[in-house]
Amino acid sequence: MSKLHHVTVTVNGKQYERDVEARMLLSDFLRHELGLMGTHVGCEHGICGACTVIFDGEPVRSCLMFAVQANGHDIRTVESLGTPEKMHPLQEAFHEKHALQCGFCTPGFLMTLVSFLEKHPNPTEEEIREAIDGNICRCTGYESIIEAAKLASERMSAREN
Amino acid sequence: MTGKVFGQPIPRLEDQFLLTGTAKFIDDIEIPGMVHAAFLRSDYAHARIKKIDYSAALKRPGVIAVYTAEDFGDYWRPGPLQVPPPTAIKGSQFNARPLVPIAKDKVRFSGEPLAVVIAESRYIAEDAFDDIIVDLEPLPAVVDLEEAWENKPALVHDDLGTNMAALVKQERGNYEEARAKADVVISRKILVNRNAAAAMENRGFVVNWDEREQEMTVWATTQAPIPLRNTIAARLGLFENQVRVITPFIGGGFGPKIMTSQADDVLLPWIAMKLKRPIKWIEDRRENFLATTSERDQVHYAEIALTKDGVILGVKDVFYHNTGAYDPYGMTVPLNTQTHTISNYRVPSFYTEIRMVFTNQMVVTPVRGAGRPEGVFVMERLMDAAARELNMDPAEIRLKNLLEPNELPLRTGIIGQDFVEGVLDSGNYKANLQKLMEMVEYEKFRKEIQPALRAQGKHVGMGIVCFTEGTAVGPYEGARVTIGGNGKVSVATGISTQGQGHFTVFAQIVAEQLGVKAEDVNVVTGDTAHFHWGAGTFASRGAAVAGTAIYNAAVKVREKIFATASKWLEVPPEQIELGDGKVWVKGKPEQFITLGDLAFRANPTRGVIEPGVEPGLEATGYYGPPYGATGAGAVAMIVEIDPETMELKIKRFVIVHDCGTVINPLLLEGQVEGGVSMGIGNAFYEKMVYDENGQLLTASFMDYLMPQATDMPPKIEIGHLTTTSPLNPLGIKGVGEAGAIPTPSAFVQAVEDALFEYQLEIPESNLSPSKIFEYVQKASKKG
């Protein structure tokens, strides 16, 4: 066992402290140290986007970062959105538009889109397509995901106005 | 109110768990005391194992054990074959070489396991690979299919004396006679490239042996939980009911997750019993690319014989099929190719020959499409060549040769993957193509739109093709439907789920029969403790085969409801109404019993149950079709190519599809769109490339390109026709593979049409900008 490093990180508004090896991936840290299993690991080389989390407001691949790099930073995962009983508007739109099938890539899409919609509250379909281009879905063909994002953006904008 | 739910586009009942990160997947399973497995895999494709020394690994802190083939003693043995070859095909030859769980004496593909390390963490287990000394003597790798057939440059299985895995000849009519009468005979060599299933979740296996209970629990990402349980139990000498296989939520299947008797499910249960520790193994993406299974590597020598009017007289196809290093899944894939080569066309004479070869590559088993895209690709390429030769329109030659509805059901004379002669049960193939032509404005495109675009210098072309999808094959599935004391309904079936929406469509089938809300039907799939008979999720059969078994069980429960209610309400069954979770006397809604209450009364703790009456509001149903149901459709796609860069844009993608009765239109469209997306990937992005040493050059998502959102057309336009299947009471056919099957065929035709001035004839199923450029360069030189 190599040397352990003390990490303090805020995840979904809650502060966690752990001692971890320098090589522990942030994705493994979230999943197996903090028990936040909603973040999924699809490729471990930064292509598929399933492990996307929001890191200081920006979507990042948690499989391409080490847990120690998150020391002192703020992270949001899919668990920060809604619950099965009360879902986030984006989650509701995914449900209505059948924007998920196996659901494994879904948390990554949700976090990419939550971050995107915060910055672009009224996106066009083309802009949404570009925004999710770094996330791979093998089941849906993306069309329903784009429709869901559009629907959610409309509802979320309407609520704020 | 329980309105009509069957056939309605209701959103899925399972979504809220998947959307909130609360659904449990295989890597979410944590058990106290659990240890982790990692497989050391061969870097060589073909080599003799001289020595594996893992003594240093055992000294590494955190390493618990290391095993090689020798350490498993008599427990190490190949197989069994997961799918045997059909015996019904006269004269067919098959050389069985089932999977070995871990390489012994010889390595046969790059990525084959050499050793398994068990450690306190996966990180430590992989560290230990550096401590293991592996001495391999490389051998020439068998890579090329036709050379393999000639037993060059080596034998994959020395004891066999040949690389032939199978030789199957099937014929209907007499091709040579048909050929002699033909005005035109066209021969082509056609290649179908290799693709990965690439489900977003890799495979995984968790096993816990409870020594005191003498019970084993296995969590696995399997499409076939019951066959998996049965082979694990048999291998360990346990009873089936001592092994429980549970499938958690599974992140996509697409074929390879049907496999059993692989390193994980053979070795880890044995190790778990020895170590008395729970073990987890999660496959990584590189392992998935190298050492799970993949599909579509065939070389066809095909021929079509026609009259000068474009009427097909016969088709001949001799093809090489790569089965990889072993053939555990029998001849399923190439048999599907045989049955799908001619299926929707009137082909009086057909000769088809499979030459299945062993190579030093990963094993080939079905991937979404499973042999069907290959057959369709060959036939559609022949139709395109014939249209060109006879100066006919590609739609016209197809319309001329498609079977008419009154010719169905049609016995095809060709035995398929389900071991019986193929029968086209029902369909309206011409109507599919005609509807497609309306949707895509075929005449207008050819006469006005395309000429105008060409006049502007644009390279826009259309591909238009037809296909069938053999689905819903046997042997059978089963289900149990139970009304609980809570008044809700539980359903358990033996197949497992990888995202298809079974929890919703099965609930819709049951809700309709039992007068309850769909959300009050709880469906359990893939847990052998809940239901333990069945074959699995493959060949687009979940909805049609398991769905029909569920329907049959629900109908029996419905009958029991009326019989039991009749006794308690003291009126004949005809005077009872069922709905909203209760039964009541017709016209007297105040005289009612809830289904929950009725369930208790059907299972009394005292008193008498009449002879012949089974307790509870519960029934089990089974369904086994005599042969599969055949879905069908047609696809048109319009592409624009920049002739400078060969950048390609899909301007329109239109698919007309007929899968019989629709249970849920929303989910159906999802299935079709997903299949199309994979088809587009197969045609233009995804290609597994092996070099001459049998090394996979595309073992990551950086090298194996998956279609992304910006690669897809703006919209996949879907048209539906419904020709019910006569094979099951709901008239359902499968749909899961539909989109993947015709897309490469349409793609290459569209590319040829877009670059019309080069008169390309593309003989392979996978393109890329650089490959289109090469074809154009070659054509330019010729011109």
First-to-last alpha carbon distance for chain A, in angstroms, is 55
Percent of chain A's residues with pLDDT above 90: 96
**B652-710 pLDDT tens trace:** 999 999 999 999 999 999 999 999 999 999 999 999 999 999 999 999 999 999 999 99
The closest alpha carbon to B297, from B190, B166, B224, B423, belongs to B190
Summary mean pLDDT of chain B: 96
Per-residue CA distances from B109 to B106, B151, B409 (Å): 10, 17, 44
Q: A44 vs chain B: nearest CA distance in angstroms?
A: 7
Cβ contacts of B20 on chain A, cutoff 8 Å = 38, 78-79, 81-84, 87, 91
Which positions ≥6 away from B367 have C-beta within 8 Å? B195, B196, B197, B254, B255, B256, B293, B294, B295, B296
Q: Which residues, in sequence order, are CB contacts of B587 under 8 Å at separation 6+?
A: none
Q: Which of residues 67-126 of A touch B (CB under 8 A)?
A: 77-79, 81-85, 87, 91, 94-96, 98, 100-107, 110, 125
Inter-chain contact B27–A136, Cβ cutoff 8 Å? no
Mean pLDDT of chain A: 97
A38 contact residues in B (CB cutoff 8 A): 20-22
Q: Using CA coordinates, name the residue in chain A closest to B201.
A: A42
Determine the pLDDT at residue B783.
56
pLDDT at B513: 96
Residues of B whose CB is below 8 A from A130: 709-710
Q: Is the pLDDT of residue B632 over 70?
A: yes
Beta-bridge partner residues of B717:
B654
Top residue of B200, B635, B703 to mutate, by most chain A CBs within 10 Å, is B200
Report the run of H or E that residue A9 belongs to, with start and end: strand A4-11
8 A C-beta contact, residue B67 and residue B40: no
* Cβ-based contacts of A32 with chain B (< 8 Å): 30
> Which chain A residues touch B667 with a CB distance below 8 Å?
98
Instruction: With beta carbons under 8 A apart, name residues in chain B contacting A110.
Output: 19
Does pLDDT of A41 surpass 90?
yes
Chain mean position to CA A25: 16
Mean pLDDT of B171-175: 97
| Nearest Cα residue to B558 out of B611, B516, B612, B504 | B516
Closest chain A residue by Cα to residue B677: A141
Which domains are delineated in chain B? 15-21+474-623 (3.30.365.10), 35-156 (3.90.1170.50), 198-291 (3.30.365.10), 295-403+410-473+626-782 (3.30.365.10)
On whether any CB of chain B is under 8 Å from the CB of A127, the answer is no
Cα(B387)–Cα(B389) distance, rounded to whole angstroms? 6
* Model confidence, pTM: 0.97
Note whether B21 contacts A79, CB cutoff 8 Å.
yes
- Angle (CA) B685-B740-B705 rounded to 5° is 15
For residue B612, the model assigns a pLDDT of 87
- B242 — alpha (psi -120 to 50), left (phi > 0) or beta? alpha
Judge: A91–B19 Cβ closer than 8 Å, yes or no: yes
**Burial grade of B752 (CB within 10 A; 0-12, 13-18, 19 or more):** buried
For residue B502, what is the nearest residue in chain A, using CA coordinates? A101
Instruction: Output the six-digit token pair for B402.
Output: 């498609």
The fold adopted by the segment(s) A89-160 is: DNA polymerase; domain 1 (1.10.150)
Tokens of B347: 């082909």
Q: What is the pLDDT of residue B1?
A: 37
Question: Out of B23, B61, B202, whose CB is closest to A1?
Answer: B61
Task: Give this complex's ipTM.
Answer: 0.98
CATH architecture of A4-80: Roll (3.10)
CA of B108 vs chain A CAs: smallest distance (Å): 26
Q: Do domains A4-80 and A89-160 have the same CATH topology?
A: no
- Which run of H or E residues covers position B332? helix B332-341
For residue A130, what pLDDT is reported? 98
Tokens standing for A48? 């598929």
Per domain, the residue ranges of chain A are 4-80, 89-160
The pLDDT of residue B521:
98
Comparing C-alpha atoms, which of B664, B45, B607 is closest to residue B363? Answer: B45
Q: Which of B15, B162, B80, B40 is nearest to B328 (CA)?
A: B80
Residues in chain A closer than 8 A to B30 (CB atoms): 32
Residue B491 amino acid letter: V
Dump pLDDT digits (tens) for A50-99: 999 999 999 999 999 999 999 999 999 999 999 999 999 999 999 999 99
Of A78, A94, A133, the CB nearest to B708: A133
Distances (CA, A) of B170 to B90, B91, B374: 8, 9, 17
Residue B767 has pLDDT above 80, yes or no: yes
Instruction: Kindly identify which residue of chain B lies nearest to residue A82, measuring between CA atoms.
Output: B20
Measured from the Cβ of residue B503, the count of other Cβ atoms closer than 10 Å reads 20
Amino acid at B327: D
**Residue-wise pLDDT tens digits, B118-134:** 999 999 999 999 999 99
Instruction: Return the closest-CA partner of residue B350 out of B188, B166, B180, B170.
Output: B170
By Cβ distance, the residue of A98, A106, A133 closest to B667 is A98
**How crowded is residue A4: how many other Cβ atoms within 10 Å of its Cβ?**
13
| A-chain residues near B712 (CB < 8 A) | 141-143
